[in-house]
Chain A
Amino acid sequence: MGDKGVFWLPDAMSTFAGEVDALFWFVFWTSTVLFVAVVAAKLYFMFRYKRRDETSVPDPVHESKLLESAWIVVPTLLVLFVFIWGFDVYLRMNTAPPDAYEITVRGKQWAWEFEYAEGVTTFTEMYVPVGRPVKLVMSSSDVLHSFFVPAFRVKQDLVPNRYSSVWFEATQTGEFQIYCTEYCGTAHSAMLAKVVVVSEEEFASWITEQSQDLPPVELGAQLFAQCALCHAVDGTTKIGPALNGIFGTQQKLTDGTSVLVDEDFILESILNPAIKVAEGFQPIMPAGYSGMTPKQLDGLVAYIKSLK
């Protein structure tokens, strides 16, 4: 049913995903064998020792010390083995190579922000080179979030006022799903993004291209990716109102007044969304977008202004 990959786990696309899977399968099959044994014994006893005579009162079974010790010692050895194995893989998952390429990741309600050392920032796609360790230095600007890429078998919470990190090395090119896995509010399940794994050369040319100065409207269009979750540009109503064709119109507000949609109103709505709320909507837009640079804000205002 999954789009690809084996039945239980998605395809393994990072260097340590295979190790995690080996461990998963070991526990899976050992558990399955033990579980089948328990169920088989249970079913056999149920029928073999079924009460046939109402007067029968069986005597207690003499308990075998050897057998009892065996079923304490053997599972203990098994779980200790699994613990040590899990510990070993965990240590490697936890220790990024010193030469890893770093990307700063910020989580906010309800968007991801990926910032590269070259000054490039992306929102819905995180580009990474294949075959090179990548370390993500992550934090949150509001509540807890968690960064999860099933194909890489990595997950780590993003905590406000604190950095956390995670690393991986992608083994194949392609697009892989990023989920937020720590509940963060209304649109938690829409806080998605993709990891785009490309070759070293493609990555290098992508980053050069991205770091050129863009005209404000194009910069704004790029930044708008993080707004698109709640705001449509084709007139449909999502969590928030659609933003096309609103510039220059009068907007009714929840307090009964109305306001002219001009540059100042758009800017105010981004920085302090709870002050003037459009009629028919809840004041749920996070204020977390105020962290943008003046240039980014100009771009965003220009883009919204341009929407027809």
Chain B
Amino acid sequence: MSESASGTINYLNHDKSIKSWLLTLDHKRIGIMYLIAVSLAFLAGGILAILVRIELMAPGETIMSADAYNQSFTLHAVLMIFTFIIPAVPAVMGNFVLPLQIGAKDVAFPRLNLASFYIYVLGAVIAMAALLVGRIDGGWTFYTPYSTSVGDGILFVTTGVFVMGFSSILTGLNFIVTVHKMRAPGLTWNRLPLFIWSIYATAIVQVLATPVIGITMLLLFLEKFMHIGIFDPALGGDPVLFQHFFWFYSHPAVYIMILPAFGIISDLMGTFSRHQVSGYKFVALSSVAIAFLGFLVWGHHMFVSGQSATSSVVFSLITYLIGIPTGVKVINWVSTMYRGSVQLKTPMLYAIAFLFTFSIGGFTGIMLGVLAIDIHLHDTYFVVAHFHYVMMGGNVIAALGGLHYWWPKITGKMFNEKLGKIAAGLVFFGFNLTFFPQFIMGAQGMPRRYYDYLPEFQGYHLLSTYGSWVLAAGLFLILGYLLASLINGKKAGLNPWGALTLEWTHTTTPPHPHNFLETPIVTRGAYDFHLAKELFATGEEVSEVVTSTH
């Protein structure tokens, strides 16, 4: 391909057939297919959330029966966790950005990457089929013996989760190999963007934790078809054992959900402060440390389950060990702005919002880790509020920041900045209005997974429901202006945010199908803005593809 054509040929326009999309081996196109799939999952989960909130506007029946409500909140959780949050950042942004950020032409195993996508779709379909074979209610935790007593739905859901788990494992494996073997010359571990570090740490958890859900499923099948008592007390099994298995996977899965968010926030903080990320090494290595420690705290979900008091004490202690590095990261992100040069563009607003919401999620996590307090708060709305502050206030807010940040690179179009800021405000306000009242009613004793409730809690439920509408309005506004930008958005420059990582400095917008025309040679760290002063000397947008840094 001639040099002169390189400006116009990109990964979106070089072949426009449907087949070229469905069978693509290009990590960028696979990333976009994931983006569409997880957005649909988020929409479905979100509609269910709105229905759940409307039902809770008044005690008793509001718009649906108890059975419909119990299935709605369960499906909301299953969709949001397994089909949306777990793949959202690693599979969408990890796929699109990771090879670009390390200066590689693709991931290490492109075919495996495409297979991961279809395995994910297959798993999602199997999980949804559960609805057709039987009821799935009682929450995403599927505690036995209830879950097995209402039919075979649980076998479908766990099979679906297990299949999607393979997608997760293969993606993780692909990323680990890619990061180890395919970094551009000069891109040492100390120079890696923190997004790569966090996706790498996430990949470790994906590979190590996900098999456990497979083991759990196998045991459920053995019990079901061979009547070997494992979890079912009627056969001499132990339902608490199921909880151990479940959380042994699902607690590390929490880190699959939050670690990638840490990476996005680090990149946003560095770029929009045009500053070295404070405590780079600590932020990088603590993600890996959290990935491993995350395997040792599952029992803090089970303080009132009947597990031994000694176990509870040990799990409570280790929970704090994992809290410290997370807290220090927050301090590092804040201090990145200190003596920086802070630009409050839309993606940065999400990073700022994240520091607020995620900190609340973190502090309330410490509260829940205290043995004596958790007894009171366990299985109340306090817990519901806490994990929404971590999952939505952490992961989703960060993912929105990342989506806005990389949108110009992905699509070649700028979104409307003004609407972007308004939407960020709506999401932030709506989110807090939805979930903060839940802390208060939870502490007062309102249990979770309740269709009906005592009238004294109605005020809080109303606030929460109104908040969910504001939040939904913000999210639909984002959907609207992002789609509009595809049609009439301003053409994006090469590096509209003035970032230093390779996807901005060394590729065209949108990137070439093979990412880089020449292999980049890296001579500075991802946030060494002071070593690249010449790029910003004119005060104009950095507008040339750099082929080597010096």
Contacts of A100 in B (CB 8 A): none
How many A-B residue contacts, CB cutoff 8 Å? 259
- Do A186 and B323 have beta carbons less than 8 Å apart? no
Chain B positions 352-391 with a Cβ under 8 Å from a chain A Cβ? 352, 355-356, 359-360, 363-364, 366-367, 369-373, 375-376, 378-380
- Tell me whether A102 is interfacial, beta carbon within 8 Å: no
- Do B373 and A79 have beta carbons less than 8 Å apart? no
- Do B447 and A160 have beta carbons less than 8 Å apart? no
What 1/0 flags go to A175-216 for Cβ under 8 Å of B? 001011111111111100000000000000000000000000
Contacts of A53 in B (CB 8 A): 341, 539
- Do A46 and B328 have beta carbons less than 8 Å apart? no
Contacts of A1 in B (CB 8 A): 456-457, 459-460
Selecting from A89-97, A124-132, A217-225, the interface stretch reads A89-97
- Tell me whether B33 is interfacial, beta carbon within 8 Å: no
Selecting from A60-68, A247-255, A257-265, A270-278, the interface stretch reads A60-68
In-complex Cβ contact of B342 among A8, A46, A79 (8 A) = A46
- Do B370 and A82 have beta carbons less than 8 Å apart? yes
- Tell me whether B275 is interfacial, beta carbon within 8 Å: yes
Q: From A1, which residue of chain B is reached at the shortest CB distance?
A: B459
- Please judge, given known A-B contacts A148-B445, A189-B452, whether A60 and B276 are in contact too, CB under 8 Å: yes
- Tell me whether A228 is interfacial, beta carbon within 8 Å: no
Q: From A2, which residue of chain B is reached at the shortest CB distance?
A: B444
Chain B positions 60-101 with a Cβ under 8 Å from a chain A Cβ? 66-67, 70
- Tell me whether B22 is interfacial, beta carbon within 8 Å: no
In-complex Cβ contact of A61 among B70, B278, B451 (8 A) = B278
Contacts of A281 in B (CB 8 A): none
In-complex Cβ contact of B337 among A2, A34, A45, A188 (8 A) = A45
What 1/0 flags go to A96-135 for Cβ under 8 Å of B? 0000000000000000000000000000000000000000
Instruction: Identify whether the interface residues of A are mostly helix, strand, loop, or mixed.
Output: mixed
Contacts of A90 in B (CB 8 A): 309, 312-313, 371-372, 375
What 1/0 flags go to A140-184 for Cβ under 8 Å of B? 001110101011011111011110100000000000010111111
Contacts of A157 in B (CB 8 A): 304-306
In-complex Cβ contact of B366 among A9, A20, A79, A185 (8 A) = A79
> Complex Cα distance A60/B341, Å?
11
- Tell me whether B454 is interfacial, beta carbon within 8 Å: yes
> Complex Cα distance A76/B334, Å?
19
Contacts of B122 in A (CB 8 A): none
Q: From A189, which residue of chain B is reached at the shortest CB distance?
A: B450
- Do B530 and A86 have beta carbons less than 8 Å apart? no
- Do A72 and B324 have beta carbons less than 8 Å apart? yes
- Do B233 and A9 have beta carbons less than 8 Å apart? no
> Complex Cα distance A190/B448, Å?
13
- Do A83 and B146 have beta carbons less than 8 Å apart? no
Q: From B449, which residue of chain A is reached at the shortest CB distance?
A: A183
Contacts of A187 in B (CB 8 A): 66
- Do A94 and B309 have beta carbons less than 8 Å apart? yes
Contacts of A162 in B (CB 8 A): 233, 238, 240, 306
- Do A42 and B355 have beta carbons less than 8 Å apart? yes
> Complex Cα distance A185/B450, Å?
10
Contacts of B451 in A (CB 8 A): 188-189
Contacts of B278 in A (CB 8 A): 61, 63
- Please judge, given known A-B contacts A28-B367, A148-B379, whether A184 and B146 are in contact too, CB under 8 Å: yes
Q: From A188, which residue of chain B is reached at the shortest CB distance?
A: B449
- Do A180 and B447 have beta carbons less than 8 Å apart? yes
- Do B334 and A42 have beta carbons less than 8 Å apart? yes
26 contacts between A and B (CB under 8 A): A2-B444, A2-B456, A9-B443, A10-B445, A19-B372, A20-B372, A20-B376, A34-B363, A41-B335, A42-B356, A49-B337, A51-B342, A57-B341, A57-B532, A58-B339, A60-B276, A60-B528, A61-B278, A82-B370, A86-B370, A143-B145, A153-B375, A156-B304, A159-B240, A159-B305, A188-B450
Not counting A71-B331, A85-B370, a sample of 18 additional A-B residue pairs whose C-beta atoms are within 8 angstroms of each other reads A8-B443, A31-B367, A35-B363, A41-B334, A42-B356, A49-B273, A51-B343, A54-B540, A55-B539, A63-B278, A63-B279, A83-B320, A143-B149, A157-B306, A159-B306, A160-B145, A160-B239, A181-B378
Seen from chain B, the residues whose Cβ lies within 8 Å of a Cβ on chain A are 66-67, 70, 137-139, 143, 145-146, 149-150, 233-234, 236, 238-240, 273-276, 278-279, 282, 304-306, 309, 312-313, 316-317, 320, 323-324, 327-328, 330-331, 334-335, 337-344, 352, 355-356, 359-360, 363-364, 366-367, 369-373, 375-376, 378-380, 440, 443-445, 447-454, 456-457, 459-460, 528-530, 532-533, 536-540
